[in-house]
Structure 1
Amino acid sequence: MSPEVFNLLASLPATGDSEDFQTLLETDLVRIERIVSDGQRSEPDFWYDQPHDEWVMLVRGEAVLEFEGGEMRELRPGDSVNIPARCAHRVAWTGPRTVWLAIHVFG
């Protein structure tokens, strides 16, 4: 049996009020997911504060990440950010039909 081909940009789901998270691969050490955003943003008082590292790349669209202390990072297609464990961050803004590739590294 040969491996199936998956296209990150094909069959994008409707997102509604929340982002769509699709796990593409998961092991004890890593989780790879596609995230589709369509104008969503983190709630004003919400911060991600993960116990593991996360690497994200913007594949399509536009987004702004905000880090604790007010630092903003604008992302365009091809931009990536390595977010260390316990680095508080939030999604400040996303454009229409924005696609992310996220890799969570455990351990």
Structure 2
Amino acid sequence: MVPSPVSLFANLPEALPEERCDTLLETPGFRLERILSRGHRTPAGEWYDQPLDEWVLLLQGQARLTIEGRAAPLELSPGDAVHLPAHCRHRVDWTLPDCTTVWLALHFSAEAGAGPAAFSATRQGDDL
């Protein structure tokens, strides 16, 4: 098979009644997804509490996350990434309603030694 490029911005729907997750690549050790949001948020009173670590990168749009134990919500803009360890309770509080927010999410097991390397970059003095 000859590799060919794929655009993460291709085929963005005009209408997005539900958040959409597209699996781009999956192996026994990880799953890579493109997530599309347009005004979507986690339903009131619900939290994500996932068995795998998740590293998420916001490529387009904007979002606000609440992470249990963090004093203030986390505002994400294009280029911002965050590592959510397994069972780190979090929720999406807001995404732009008039623009498709494009996320790249990597789900993996840190127990397999595949944890992210330390990343020292900060944005506006806020640890990512």
**TM-score range, shorter-chain basis?**
over 0.9
Q: CA deviation at 1:48?
A: 0.3
Q: Which amino acid aligns with 1:86?
A: H
Matched pairs, number: 106
Which residue number corresponds to residue 59 of structure 1? 59
The structure whose Rg is larger is: 2
Q: Is the deviation greater in 86-95 or in 69-78?
A: 69-78
Which residue number corresponds to residue 29 of structure 2? 29
Q: CA deviation at 1:4?
A: 2.5
Q: Which amino acid aligns with 2:93?
A: A
Q: CA deviation at 1:3?
A: 1.2
Structure 2 gap ranges (5+): 113-128
C-alpha separation in 1, matches of 2:4 and 2:65: 32
Normalising by structure 1, we get a TM-score of 0.93
Percent identical pairs in the alignment equals 52
Normalising by structure 2, we get a TM-score of 0.78
Which residue number corresponds to residue 77 of structure 2? 76
| 1:86 aligned onto 2:87 | yes
Q: Which runs of 4+ in 1 moved over 6 A?
A: none
- 1:15-46, Cα deviation, whole Å (9 max, x unpaired): 21x10100000111100000010000000111
Q: CA deviation at 1:57?
A: 0.4
Q: CA deviation at 1:71?
A: 3.3
Structure 1 gap ranges (5+): none
Q: Which amino acid aligns with 2:31?
A: R
Higher relative contact order (CA 8 A, sep 6+): 1
C-alpha separation in 2, matches of 1:84 and 1:71: 18
| 1:98 aligned onto 2:84 | no
Q: CA deviation at 1:68?
A: 1.7
C-alpha separation in 1, matches of 2:4 and 2:26: 16
Which has the larger strand fraction? 1
